[in-house]
Homo-oligomer: A and B are copies of this chain.
Amino acid sequence: MKGVIVLEKEISQAVIRRMPRYYRYLNELLEAGVERISSNELSARMHVTASQIRQDLNNFGGFGQQGYGYNVQYLYDEIGNILGLNTTHNVIVIGVGNLGQAIANYNFGKFGFQVVGLFDVKPSLEGKEIRGIPVRMLDELPEFAKQNKIDIAALTLPKENAETTAVMLSSLGVHAIWNFAHVDLDNVEGMVVENVHLSDSLMRLSYSIANYDHK
């Protein structure tokens, strides 16, 4: 059992989508020194109904007592556990262009994500260092994967190379992809994938602009 949380029913994607947001707000409360918060107060801060918050948390057993509100540190830790943040994740970045460099420089460390390797195919990038980590050539990845535990590969490379790279990663025992390439990677056996499509997001903004203007 190893102390993991056992989910007795399938949790909906919508609930999962909201959990990191709760985590982020609770982190802000902690930083502000808040120890206890009612679901109504949390609701007002987050623009989500108190009933929604209670329902969401009840999926995981609920973490408050009626009338006493939530202990912020406890709720933060529990949501962290739900999100699998109670362990360190080693991350490699494949594709060290602007976006790859931005990812490599991003401060995910406080959530336990640690960049351990950078890979590209461009010889001019070889040996360039970001936060003390040298860029390696992609053909060194199989050897690197033997020597290092890799939990997540961030793909910041052209969409043409994304699927081949995903298949290679799978063969090397890497089973999670944070995909920034402009293609959905939903077909690789045994791989969990989180797609970040920046242009999709920009199009949703465009939709909002078009519909806001006409109101």
Q: Which A positions have Cβ atoms within 8 angstroms of B? A: 4, 6-7, 16-17, 19-21, 23-24, 47, 82-85, 89, 97-99, 101-103, 105-106, 108, 111, 113, 151-152, 175-176, 178, 182, 184, 186, 192-194, 196-212, 214
Contact = CB atoms under 8 A, between A and B. Distances in A.
A82 to B, nearest CB: 7
Contact of A98 (B98, B194, B197): B98
Contact of A207 (B4, B6, B84, B184): B84
Contacts of A111: 199, 202-203
Number of copies: 2
A196 B203 contact: no
Contacts of A99: 99, 102, 106
A192 B214 contact: no
Contacts of A23: 203
A199 B65 CA distance: 29
B203 A7 contact: no
A103 B192 CA distance: 26
A89 B202 CA distance: 10
B182 A24 contact: yes
Given A108-B199, A199-B108, A205 B182 contact: no
Contacts of A182: 24
B205 A178 contact: yes
Nearest to A21: B200
B98 A203 contact: no
A163 to B, nearest CB: 13
A85 B24 contact: no
Contacts of A212: 175, 192
Given A98-B105, A201-B194, A84 B20 contact: no
A209 B101 contact: no
A208 B176 contact: yes
A60 to B, nearest CB: 11
A192 B176 contact: no
Give the interface centre of A103, A111, A203, A214 by most chain B CB atoms within 10 Å. A203
